[in-house]
Structures are given as C-alpha cells and as structure tokens.
Amino acid sequence: KTREQWIDASTKLNKGGTQGIYLPGQMWYALAGFIWDEGGDLAAESGGKWSGALDTPEALRGMAFYEELQALGKGPKDSDEDDPPQAEVMAQGQVAQVISTPGGANVIAE
C-alpha cells in the first residue's frame, strides 16, 4: 500500500471514539524509518565529521508524513511508546493501529 492509502484508511478508522492510529510524538525509530524511506538520514558524514541532517528536503518530507499520521490519533506529542505504554492503550479497544515491533502483538493480547 502507499502512504496515501495508509492515511486514507487511518482517516476512515478515526471515528466514533476510535483513534485511527496511536502514534506518540517521540517514537524516534518510526520517524527514522519515514526519513529513510524518503532517502534522507539522521546525520551525515563529511570529511570525517558528522552533523545533523534533519534539515534536508528528504528528512523534512519524512517528518511531515509522521506529523500527518500522528494527527489521526491522540498519542502524546511529548512522549514515546512507553508513556503510557502503547500496548495498554491498544488493548483498551479504542485504537485501530499502532506501529510496533513484531512481538508487540503478543504483549497487546496479554
């Protein structure tokens, strides 16, 4: 599926008290994945020195997608997936989807 299809599906799921997605604002590894998908990086090496690369067009596109996706839920902007634990939030039954590691489904089921 495309990102546009993901946004469309999440928008449709975001109704009647259900969050389309639970995505905290400081879930850095999900954000990093979106930046890498765009061809960007978190840092760049030049002449033996590293510097931040979050101001590139690619990184900014990845961040814009993260922001758009996060707006379809109530994940806290100033926290990560552990505060509150996203598995517990998902298990309450009012969240359509989360971004998690493969083992996350077992934690939610428990």
Q: Would you state the pLDDT for residue 17? A: 87
Identify the burial level of 100 via C-beta atoms within 10 angstroms of its C-beta, where 0-12 means exposed, 13-18 middle and 19 or more buried: middle
Structural domain boundaries, residue 92: 3-109
Contacts of 29 (CB under 8 A, 6+ apart): none
Specify the CATH number for the domain of residue 9: 3.40.190.10
Backbone angles phi, psi at 39, to 5 degrees: 90, 5
Element (H, E) at 66: helix 57-70
Number of domains in the chain: 1
Q: Would you state the pLDDT for residue 73? A: 87
As a whole number of angstroms, the distance between CA 47 and CA 49 comes to 6
Question: Which tens digits make up the pLDDT trace of 40-88?
Answer: 999 999 999 999 999 999 999 999 999 999 988 888 888 777 777 788 8
- The predicted model scores a pTM of 0.84
Q: HSE, CB side, 13 Å, CA atoms: give it for residue 42.
A: 7
Backbone angles phi, psi at 5, to 5 degrees: -65, -35
Q: Would you state the pLDDT for residue 3? A: 92
